Structure 1
Amino acid sequence: MLRLPDAFLDQLQAEDTPHGDLTTIALAIGERPGRMRFSARAPQVVCCVEEAVRLIERAGAQVSAYCRSGDFLPSGALILEATGPAEALLLSWKVAQTLIEATSGISTAVRHLVEAAERGGGAVVACTRKTFPGAKAASLKAVYAGGGVPHRLGLSDSLLVFPEHRVFLGADTADALRHLKAACPEKKVVAEVINVDEALQMARIGIDVLQLEKFPPEAVAETVRALSDLPSPPVLAAAGGVNAGNAEAYVRAGAKILVSSSPYWAKPADVSVKITADGPGHAGHAIPS
């Protein structure tokens, strides 16, 4: 599982508490011992448990984790428990909670896509590079936790020829794409197409993967039929508007890869936090999400 660097966690903490926790300092309660428990308020595929543990530990508390990123948790399941001074618990509480909630929302949405694809016969769920700016590492960890893979990490790692590239090629498109394959023999060439005719044209050139942009499932099936006479037809990736509601239909139509950005905008998961002061006469307080 991807490990987010401590520098990233320090940045998250610094955004929330650049000069300490003024309320805790002014109340003079920082040294009082306490306990903090994170639990799943609703079923979810949890993510960034390891990072939440490190956030809290780096604030000065001791933490025990009861699950790992990628685990499915039923409602009420304990995620982690921390003990230490109030200043450490209160400093790290909201940053750790928000990180788990945001990434677990993504990983849960990815898992729903994976399950829908499995109902259709099975396909790879690949999430795009359209993450929220600055959140790529955490988003990718959530994709892995949900059972998906990155579609592309960025422009530097893969070959994807868009129609916007091809407008600069003109009549030389076929030769240019064959040259591209020869220039980067260790990489597969992906081409995005917007209709069945383009798909057939790119397939005849020898493109490895066709990204079918905004094809409805019936158009994916039509593409499969159009390519069936080729000796080595390309792999078909459905893209644009793919979600858990239509993923099964896309797989049944013949898509082997489901390309989606939708998990990145999923509703955050719901994590309950309860903080108690250790010692007689102290009651816990459940923190609303």
Structure 2
Amino acid sequence: MIRPQPLALDDHRLQQLLAEDVPYGDLTTEALAIDARPGQIRLFARDPMVVCGIEEAARMFTLCGARATLHAASGQQAAPETLLLEASAEAGILHRAWKSAQTLVEWCSGVASRAAEIQEAARRGHPEALVALTRKNVPGTRRLAVKAARAAGAAMHRTGLSETLLVFAEHRLFLDEDDPAAAIARLRRHCPEKRVVVEVEDVAEALAWAAADVIQLEKFSPAAVAETVAALAAAGSTALVAAAGGVNAANAEDYARAGARLLVTSAPHLAPPRDVQVRFARGV
């Protein structure tokens, strides 16, 4: 049974994507005088993938006037030759939505597939390890990146500066006093419902900020993560340890095994798209 996931983009945003590709009509289809001829388009997985963005693709065809049928949903594992979507309409309509819809699915599925690979590796290191995607997505794609993370069984580290408390060295530079306890207390007083996350660059900084809820270790090796986890435990800290910077599918298991329970990564945003094959057919 297909369970479509909620759309990450509303009709206005989807129409903008369509208008970007076809701003003044489809010159080729119209010049060939084939735009009114009936046809069908079918999208298949060419690569193995975690499907993502297929609901948006179907909606794009519908907005253009086609009849679209989903055969897969975001979050589904798809082997090569899996039928994802089919749509029927006049050729002009199908050509209008074709590339925008295909490219969206390919890009979203690339992000989701890479995130799922990292999540799978992390769980081999510890069954409770969670992968979280950073906000370093391609500008303008945040909503789709969130959907891809969820499709992969991962999470978003933060979707924006308004959402979470994350103290970087660049914040601490502007503090008048060098008192971690006072800074943490101020954050909790102003945002009592938020967890305090502090990024550190060595074991000494981790211990100085050990009262935070989450200690984020920036560009630590797995061995350094293990050392820091042990030091925090010895100091009585109950902070969750997150590893950030350079986390990927090749080392996620090692980071989780070392004691990082949250693995923060930008790698999925740079993943190559997963190939989606398109097949057209004439209608009757």
The question of a shared fold, defined as TM-score above 0.5 by the shorter chain, is answered with yes
Aligned positions of 1:178-189 closer than 5 A: 178-189=185-196
Q: Does structure 1 retain, via aligned residues, the 8 Å contact 2:123–2:130?
A: no
SS in 2 for 1:171: coil
User: Could you tell me which amino acid in structure 2 is paired with residue 260 of structure 1?
Assistant: T
Looking at structure 2, the residues matched to 221 and 199 of structure 1 have their Cα atoms a distance apart, in angstroms, of 12
State the TM-score, normalizing by the size of structure 2: 0.95
Within the alignment, does 1:149 sit opposite 2:151 as a pair?
no
Question: Which residue in the other structure is 2:83 paired with?
Answer: 78
| Alpha-carbon distance change, 232 to 196 in structure 1, aligned in 2, over 3 angstroms | closer
Aligned-residue offset at 1:2: 4.5
Within the alignment, does 1:201 sit opposite 2:208 as a pair?
yes
State the TM-score, normalizing by the size of structure 1: 0.93
Looking at structure 2, the residues matched to 127 and 262 of structure 1 have their Cα atoms a distance apart, in angstroms, of 8
Question: Which residue in the other structure is 2:130 paired with?
Answer: 124
Question: Which residue in the other structure is 2:145 paired with?
Answer: 139
Deviations 1:66-125 (A, max 9, x none): 110000000110001111100111110000000000000000001101100111113111
Q: Does structure 2 retain, via aligned residues, the 8 Å contact 1:193–1:210?
A: yes
Aligned-residue offset at 1:230: 3.6
Aligned-residue offset at 1:215: 0.3
When structure 1 is superposed on structure 2, of 2-11 and 142-151 the one drifting more is 2-11
SS in 2 for 1:267: coil
Aligned positions of 1:38-117 closer than 5 A: 38-117=43-122
Question: Which residue in the other structure is 2:166 paired with?
Answer: 160
Let me know the Cα RMSD of the aligned residues: 1.1
Question: Which residue in the other structure is 1:25 paired with?
Answer: 30
Question: Which residue in the other structure is 1:226 paired with?
Answer: 231
Aligned-residue offset at 1:231: 3.6
Looking at structure 2, the residues matched to 266 and 173 of structure 1 have their Cα atoms a distance apart, in angstroms, of 40
Deviations 1:198-256 (A, max 9, x none): 001100xx200011000000000000110112444200000000001100000000001
Looking at structure 2, the residues matched to 78 and 163 of structure 1 have their Cα atoms a distance apart, in angstroms, of 48
Q: Does structure 2 retain, via aligned residues, the 8 Å contact 1:48–1:69?
A: yes
Aligned-residue offset at 1:171: 3.0
Deviations 1:125-168 (A, max 9, x none): 11011111111111111111111111011111110000011111
* Count of aligned positions: 277
When structure 1 is superposed on structure 2, of 109-118 and 229-238 the one drifting more is 229-238
5+ residue gaps, structure 1: 280-289
SS in 2 for 1:228: helix
User: Could you tell me which amino acid in structure 1 is paired with residue 203 of structure 2?
Assistant: V
Question: Which residue in the other structure is 2:222 paired with?
Answer: 217
When structure 1 is superposed on structure 2, of 93-102 and 25-34 the one drifting more is 25-34
